[in-house]
Amino acid sequence: MLSLYIPGSSFLHRMPAGIKLILLAFLSAVLMPVTEPLVLAGALGLALGLYALLGKEGIRQVQLVRPLLPILVILLLLHAVTGFVMEGVSVVLRLLTMVLLANLVTLTTRMDDMMAAVAPMFRPLALVGISPRRPALAVTLVLRFVPVLLAVYGALSEAWRARTGRPASWRLIAPLALQALKLSDHVAEALIARGGADGLGRPAAARPPRRLS
């Protein structure tokens, strides 16, 4: 499954997605102006504690910060060069805490629930004549297209290796983009043939008469 969610039943899993998002926004806003390293270290400790509550799998997830480490080291060095080591330490601690907290929401919330939590944000779209359900449909389409495009790329790179005996090259990007566009034509036709994005899932009788262009 194309998601970072880890199943579980901790109190974080049970908390509604909307509350988690609001809490995260609040905590991030509170942490931003803090410069006291001790306070930030405490916050980082609390964040790590929350991961520990998720059990073994949760502790394992802390490794997600690994790709961030080289950047943090460089940041620390940049601060150290100019003689603001403590400032560098605060920056690194704050970034680590904020990244870990944000990821905690992602780890404990199903993508569906997250989508449902932010869906009200799209309601104003109706004012400009766009169905608020379109973003959800678009998300579903992308999740479906990613494996399709990966398969297309797989076929292209296999053919490339067979012809050249060399590993895949950037030259495959042009045919990949071409195939993506051709596929998108077909999918669009199929979608329109089924009544279009706004007709999906609506009873046929309730559908307004459609003008074909």
Partner 1 sequence: MSVSRDHSLVQIAFYAALIAVLGLLPPFAIPFLGGVPITAQSLGVMLAGVMLGPVRSALAVCLFLFLVALGAPLLAGGRGGLAVFAGPSVGFLIGFPVGAFVAGLIMQRSRKLAVLPAAAVAAAVGGIGVVYLFGVPGLALMAGLSLDKALIGSAVYIPGDLIKVAIAAVVAETVSRGFPRALVSRG
Using CB under 8 A as the binding rule, the residues of this chain from 124 to 183 that contact partner 1 are 129-131, 134-135, 137-139, 141-143, 145-146, 148-150, 153, 167-170, 173-174, 176-178, 180-183
Binding positions for partner 1, 26-55, rule CB under 8 A: 28
Contacts of residue 156, defined as CB under 8 A and 6 or more positions apart, other chains included, come to 172, 175, 176, 179
Q: What angle do CA 128, 129, 130 make, to 5 degrees?
A: 100
The token pair at 37 is 């390293």
Q: Is 43 exposed, middle or buried (0-12, 13-18, 19+ CB in 10 A)?
A: buried
Least separation in angstroms between residue 10's CB and partner 1 is 16
Q: Do 13 and 114 meet the contact criterion of CB atoms below 8 Å apart?
A: no
Which residue number, 15 or 192, has a Cβ lying nearer to partner 1?
192
Q: Which is nearer to partner 1, 11 or 170 (CB)?
A: 170
- Amino acid identity, position 90: S
Q: How far is the CB of 74 from partner 1 (least distance, A)?
A: 6
Kindly state the smallest distance separating residue 113's Cβ from partner 1, in Å: 10
Among 7, 67, 70, 201, binds partner 1 (CB under 8 A): 67
Q: How far is the CB of 94 from partner 1 (least distance, A)?
A: 9
Choices 8-16, 38-46, 49-57, 192-200 (CB under 8 A): range interacting with partner 1: 192-200
Q: Between residue 81 and residue 100, which ones bind partner 1 under the rule CB under 8 A?
A: 82, 87-88, 90-91, 95, 98-100
Q: Which of 41, 64, 80, 125 binds partner 1 (CB under 8 A)?
A: 64
CA dist 8 to 1, 19, 55, 108, 153, Å? 16, 18, 9, 8, 35
Residue ranges in 3-22 that form contacts with partner 1 under rule CB under 8 A: 3-5
SS3 64: helix
Instruction: Please give the backbone phi and psi of residue 202, each rounded to the nearest 5 degrees, phi first.
Output: -100, 140
CA-closest candidate to residue 20, choices 3, 34, 5: 5
Based on the shown chain and the rule CB under 8 A, indicate whether residue 58 belongs to the binding site for partner 1. no
Q: Is 115 in the site for partner 1 (CB under 8 A)?
A: yes
